[in-house]
């Protein structure tokens, strides 16, 4: 495909270049590349698209076996080994063709790898600035990686709520030994302060590996939150 025309009810959209190429490298690896004004992608390695969700679930099971459970017999086992590099640039392709009111400036990027043989995953994403409809966001980041001891993920973003005000949000999560620790942090930079930090630890358990019943205990750690410039104490609590 060297170009793309889209005829819409009120307008037309033309993409001068849309190149999609699938080949095999000299090392025998699958290589897929996409190049256009809206999307650029490079994926290399051994992979099947239908097993991509299973790849991550298999890796996550090492840290949260009770939550993930046993893979059903009809689900195909993943054996993916690949790297990927994606880039989303600003384009009329999103609102005109996909009907998504999205604007990106500059480009958003996502890269990393998945290895089921080594039980490793890494994901690095950055979105410097975007608008979705009337909403403005910036400094979006996502990180995910693992080691033999734990798997960790972080997500953060800031939303504009006025001409000179923002609300920032960050979620940090780490899992190991059937335990999930999460930290939710938020705050603003306007005249009246809203901010906080809530930490939780969730313990998962099953009586047997094949048991359909999952037990969970959520432990909320002591913290402080600020609402309308007033400080509130969050005491230790347990939810079963």
Reported in sequence order, the residue ranges of 30-178 that DSSP labels E, i.e. its strands, are 30-36, 39-46, 81-88, 102-104, 108-115, 120-132, 135-146, 151-160, 166-176
The rounded distance, in Å, linking the Cα atoms of 81 and 114 is 6
The pLDDT score that the predictor gives to residue 71 is: 66
The pLDDT score that the predictor gives to residue 176 is: 97
Instruction: Judge whether residue 72 has pLDDT over 70.
Output: no
Share of the chain above pLDDT 70, in %: 96
Tell me the two tokens of residue 85.
């590099």
What does the radius of gyration of the chain's CA atoms come to, in whole angstroms? Answer: 22
Mean pLDDT of 96-112: 90
Report pTM. 0.84
Q: Which residue has the tokens 């005109």?
A: 96
The pLDDT score that the predictor gives to residue 73 is: 59
């Amino acid at each position: 495909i060297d170009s793309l025309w889209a005829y819409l009810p009120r307008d037309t959209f033309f993409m001068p270049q849309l190149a999609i190429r699938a080949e095999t490298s000299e090392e025998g690896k699958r290589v897929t590349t996409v190049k256009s004004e809206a999307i650029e992608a490079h994926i290399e390695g051994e992979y099947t698209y239908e097993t991509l969700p299973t790849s991550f679930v298999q890796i996550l099971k090492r840290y949260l076996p009770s939550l993930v459970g046993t893979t059903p017999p009809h689900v195909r086992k993943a054996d993916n080994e690949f790297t990927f590099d994606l880039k989303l640039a600003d384009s009329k392709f999103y609102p005109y063709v996909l009907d998504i009111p999205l604007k990106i400036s500059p480009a958003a990027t996502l890269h990393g790898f998945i290895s089921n043989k080594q039980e490793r995953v890494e994901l690095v994403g950055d979105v410097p600035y975007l608008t979705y409809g009337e909403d403005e966001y910036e400094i979006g980041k996502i990180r995910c990686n693992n080691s033999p001891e734990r798997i960790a993920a972080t997500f953060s973003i800031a939303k504009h709520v006025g001409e000179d005000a923002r609300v920032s949000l960050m979620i940090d999560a780490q899992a190991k030994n059937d335990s999930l620790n999460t930290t939710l942090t938020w705050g603003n930079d306007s005249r009246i302060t809203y901010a906080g930090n809530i930490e939780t630890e969730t313990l998962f358990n099953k009586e047997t590996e094949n048991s359909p019943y999952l037990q969970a205990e959520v432990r909320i750690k002591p913290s402080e939150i600020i609402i309308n410039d007033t400080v509130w104490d969050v005491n230790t609590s347990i939810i079963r």
